Structure 1
Amino acid sequence: MRHLIILLSAALLFASCKVEEKPNQKLKLAFVANGPADFWLYAQAGVQDAAKELDIDVQFKVGDQTTAKQKQIIDDLIVSGVSGVAVSPANPKNQVQMIKEWSEYIPVICADSDAPGSARLSYLGTDNVAAGRECGELLKKALPNGGKVMAFVGLRDAQTAIDRYKGLKQAVEGTKIEIIDLRTDNGDRVKARRNAEDALIAHPDLAAMVGLWAYNAPAILGALESSNRADQVKIIAFDEDPVTLNAIDEGKIYGTICQNPYAFGYESIKLLHKLSKGASATEAGIPANQQIIIPTKTLIKGQGLEYKKYCDELKASLKH
């Protein structure tokens, strides 16, 4: 019943907006992340800069990693009168219908995490299969003689997890590197560390551990340090968690594959602005495959602290 009321309210709202448009009223857009993390603060800095440049209002929302919370947030945003939403779906397979319903009222794009087969107008973010392969290339450099490897991620069904794990396995195919399994934690950082601790006990001969989401590598590092094995097991990371960046230059983490969350935020709002103003997908710059790819960057020892300084500047720029 609540869902029906929301949709009816949204329909009435948009109908009235068309009749009583106020030329001096600022356009309202929104960006909805899939969980709290420094990664999303960098995206928020990009959202903020785009909003200032375009002179529009943009709401940045962070929910927990559940479809129910994201549904509540975006339903409420539509009722409040936003003209477009960028969302990083928490569980893309289970949100196809949600995105279809939202798209009946406003332009919807996916950022960071895609929902293939949904009604979203575009995906904007990393080519995660390619990023997974880059992660695999780092792993091969860290383990030139091969060895057993355990991988970790938050949600197995998230498209980012599926694609990165696929790319990782592709990169090490035909080598002496053996990826034993992919362990999940449902976004629970305590469980992420416990997963790493359990893996070390179950597989004392592990040569490396790969964290496919930002918080995984710091959790792995904590587990290794508590077991006094930090100098025995290589860590390959994703993203630019401050702990990861410090640990890279300290030689505790071999390297990381950085996305560009600032660009995710900035470019998403620029794209939504065009779409909400009536531009077609082609006019807005969306290619035929509906994929706008933002390049990644590999960081190794000697590059961590410099990149951390850049990230700290992004966080410092946020208005609270």
Structure 2
Amino acid sequence: MKRRSLLAAPAALALAGAPRILHAQEKKTLAFVVNVSADFWTIARRGIEKANREHPEFNMEMIVPGQASAAEQRRIVDELLARKVAGIAISAINPGNSTEMLNRAASQAVLFTTDSDAPASNRVVYIGTDNVAAGREAGAQMKKALPSGGKAMLFVGTMDADNARERVQGIREALQGGNIEIVDIRTDESDMARAKRNVEDVLARYADIDLLVGLWAYNTPQIYQAVKGAGRENRVKIVGFDEDGLTLRGVADGTIYSTVVQQPFEFGYQSMVGMVKYLNNDRSFIPASKQIIIPTRIIDKSNVEEFQKQMRDLLRTR
């Protein structure tokens, strides 16, 4: 009798724990897939963490690709679909050539885009910056940095991404009819070392270059370091995007004229909360345009100190 009771006990315990295990298995996962490793996305992670505190009934995770390529993102999405995640928010590296992959994801999970849109896909909504408008803001800053005009060079990871093309479009619109010439656009495929070499090459080849513009979060820090290394900080102006720590340091010390910052915290937070609403059959938050635009800000010498404090608070380990 004692032996039978001892054998029965584990079974009873297993049955007692079964509802909890089943509940844990039923907990849905929402994934946020980024395009490159950067502090920009660390800030977005804080927004995801806030959303998860508000909705603990979901698993929420951020996935950073090992290499910044459309192929790597495709592998990640395939893995997520195999895991049967309920929702995916993605900053697609090459949306024009990723429509099939994105539509496959949209057929099996809720699909949002963020940071860089893919309007040709079946995504539910885009949450992020109006990149054409942000480009116009950068163009206005370029004109302020070079009131007498001059030659400018742009730097970005790839022109395959919608956000890169749209920012360049906005810059060209803002500069139209003016006296600033865009000499070229240098790409680096999100390779940090190559990004810096691109700047060094431009500084060596173009003695008359007046302005360097970084379009992605990591580009401006590479520009900053290359310009400082060449001793050209008093002769070459810099306008950037985003709030990397080195970028903000450059704004504070006067090497960088200004930077156009987005709100990645809101990208993360609103993407996750939006997917929760969608899964709960709430569509009221989706505008007719299927784009939720998060406004940008200009950070320059006048407000950089306050902004740096805000970023330190957000980036602090939680």
The two structures share one fold, judged by TM-score above 0.5: yes
Q: Deviations over 1:208-229 (max 9, x none)?
A: 1111111111111222122211
Which residue number corresponds to residue 5 of structure 1?
A: none
> Aligned AA for 1:304?
V
> Aligned AA for 2:49?
Q
Separation in 2, partners of 1:200, 1:284:
51
Separation in 2, partners of 1:59, 1:271:
15
Which residue number corresponds to residue 221 of structure 1?
A: 224
Do the aligned partners of residues 196 and 246 (structure 1) sit closer, same or farther apart at CA in structure 2, a change above 3 Å counting?
same
Give the alignment's Cα RMSD to 1 decimal: 1.5
Shift, 1:111, TM fit = 0.6
Does the Cα contact within 8 Å between 2:214 and 2:241 map onto a contact in 1? Answer: yes
Instruction: In structure 1, list runs of 5 or more residues that go unmatched.
Output: 1-20
> Aligned AA for 2:38?
A
Separation in 1, partners of 2:272, 2:39:
19
1:208 to 2:192 alignment: no
Matching of residues 109-120 of structure 1 within 5 Å:
109-120=112-123
Does the Cα contact within 8 Å between 1:46 and 1:266 map onto a contact in 2? Answer: yes
Q: Deviations over 1:249-291 (max 9, x none)?
A: 1111000000000000000001111112233xxx241111111
Does the Cα contact within 8 Å between 1:150 and 1:179 map onto a contact in 2? Answer: yes
> Aligned AA for 1:224?
V
Separation in 2, partners of 1:98, 1:290:
20
Identity of aligned residues (%): 42
> Aligned AA for 2:244?
D
1:38 to 2:39 alignment: yes
SS of 2:41's equivalent in the other structure is: helix
Which residue number corresponds to residue 101 of structure 1?
A: 104
Shift, 1:59, TM fit = 1.4
Shift, 1:236, TM fit = 0.1
Which residue number corresponds to residue 71 of structure 1?
A: 74
**Structure 1 residue aligned with 2:61, among 38, 49, 59?**
59
Does the Cα contact within 8 Å between 1:139 and 1:236 map onto a contact in 2? Answer: yes
Shift, 1:317, TM fit = 4.6
Separation in 2, partners of 1:189, 1:75:
27
Does the Cα contact within 8 Å between 1:27 and 1:83 map onto a contact in 2? Answer: yes
Does the Cα contact within 8 Å between 2:50 and 2:269 map onto a contact in 1? Answer: yes
Q: Deviations over 1:59-87 (max 9, x none)?
A: 11111211221122122222223211101
1:195 to 2:204 alignment: no
- Give structure 1 regions of 4+ aligned residues with deviation exceeding 6 angstroms: none
Asked which structure has the greater CA Rg, the reply is 2
1:26 to 2:54 alignment: no
Separation in 1, partners of 2:189, 2:26:
41
1:186 to 2:189 alignment: yes
Separation in 2, partners of 1:119, 1:189:
32
Which residue number corresponds to residue 313 of structure 2?
A: 313
